[in-house]
Amino acid sequence: MPILSTTVIKECTAADSPVAGQPSSVCTRKNTFLVVDGSCDSYVECIEFVPVHKTCPDGLHYDPSVKWPGYPCGYPADVPCKGRGAAQAAEPTKDCPHQFGFFASTAASPNDCGRYRMCVAGHAVEMSCPTGLAFNPILSRCDWPFNVPSCNVDAFLAYKCPAASIDASGNAIVTNHKYEGNCYAFYSCEAGESRLLSCDAGLAFDPTTGYCVDEDRVDCGVKAVPQQSASAALVAPIQI
């Protein structure tokens, strides 16, 4: 999800109509949210014991764990709807399958796995995952490229790991390799799967030892700007 941009989701407006104009037995607490059976994205908001039926914007689900007065709608990746019923009909636009959400970018080249599309109120914004990560359309998150079946990892990272090495116990040995053109970055290989990582601040990759060491001990030439560690970016592209 974080290092990428955030956005403010509009207040629920679809199907906002009172269940009752006066306090009723529906609301046993003064201010709270209630689940609507058979619906992923509808809920009842009790305000001063008066129930009001509401529906999350298209693409979002109602989150029963949210306590009033928090915003009760979340992305499907964070709020699964399994066994809770159905979601409202989609309201697609030319660029977005739903009004809100994260989707694979149709503008990205086949090997550009890090591009994705953020939809806000039906408007698409092209986004990019942190260096070394690919967009996983199943999880709607940036992920390790080898977890994304549609991604050609070798082409995307411009690197192919050597054959996997196994130790005496049969476990895969992790090996690290130089990233040409940036002494702060390196490839980490395990069982033939590659990750593009970067050293912590103040460190640089030493190809002789295969580890990050004090940057003064590494001849970087014209030093490239350190890149952000991909391992810290395995989160949803944005949060509400």
pLDDT of residue 225: 55
> If pLDDT is split at 50, 70 and 90, which confidence band does 109 have?
confident
| Distance separating alpha carbons of residues 237 and 140, to the nearest angstrom | 8
Q: Given this model, what pLDDT does residue 40 score?
A: 96
Which residue is listed with tokens 């989150």? 63
- The confidence band for 108, taking pLDDT boundaries of 50, 70 and 90, is confident
pLDDT confidence band for 23 (50 / 70 / 90): low
Tokens of 149: 């079946």
**63 in Cβ contact with 34 (< 8 Å):** no
Across all residues in the chain, what is the average pLDDT?
A: 86
Global confidence as pTM: 0.78
| Span 33-73, pLDDT tens digits | 999 999 999 999 999 999 999 999 999 999 999 999 999 99
- What is the model's pLDDT at position 220? 87
| pLDDT for the residue 113 | 95
Confidence of residue 11 (pLDDT cuts 50, 70, 90): very low
CATH number of this structure's domain 1-88: 2.170.140
Question: What's the pLDDT score for residue 25?
Answer: 81
The size of the chain, in residues, is: 240
- Give the tens place of pLDDT for each residue, 158-202: 999 999 888 888 899 999 999 998 999 999 999 999 999 999 999
Res 17: pLDDT: 46
Q: What average pLDDT score do residues 230-239 get?
A: 46
pLDDT digits (tens, 9 = 90+) for 135-158: 999 999 999 999 999 999 999 999
In the predicted structure, residue 84 carries a pLDDT above the cut 50: yes
> How far is residue 97's CA from residue 213's CA, in Å, rounded to a whole number?
47
Whether residue 6 is predicted with pLDDT greater than 60 in this model: the reply is no
More confident of the two residues 18 and 34 = 34
User: Domain residues of the chain, as ranges?
Assistant: 1-88, 157-231
Residues in contact with 38: Cβ distance below 8 Å, sequence separation at least 6, in sequence order: 84, 85, 86
Which one of 2.60.98, 1.10.3470, 3.30.310, 2.170.140 gives the CATH number of domain 157-231?
2.170.140
Cα separation, 147 vs 136, in Å, equals 8
- Compute and round to an integer the Cα radius of gyration of the chain: 23
The two domains 1-88 and 157-231 share their CATH topology (first three levels equal) = yes
3-class secondary structure per residue, the chain: CCCCCCCCCCCCCCCCEECCCCCCCCCCCCCEEEECCCECCEEEEEECCEEEEEECCCCCEECCCCCCCCCCEECCCCCCCCCCCECCCCCCCCCCCCCCEEEECCCCCCCCCCEEEEEECCEEEEEECCCCCEEECCCCEEECHHHCCCCCHHHHHCCCCCCCEECCCCCEECEEEECCCCCCEEEEEECCEEEEEECCCCEEEECCCCEEEEHHHCCCCCCCCCCCCHHHCCCCCCCC
pLDDT value, residue 230:
55
Q: What angle do CA 86, 89, 91 make, to 5 degrees?
A: 145
| pLDDT (average), residues 219-223 | 74
* Residue 22 pLDDT grade (very low, low, confident, very high; cuts 50, 70, 90): low
State the Cα–Cα distance between residues 136 and 56, nearest whole angstrom. Answer: 24
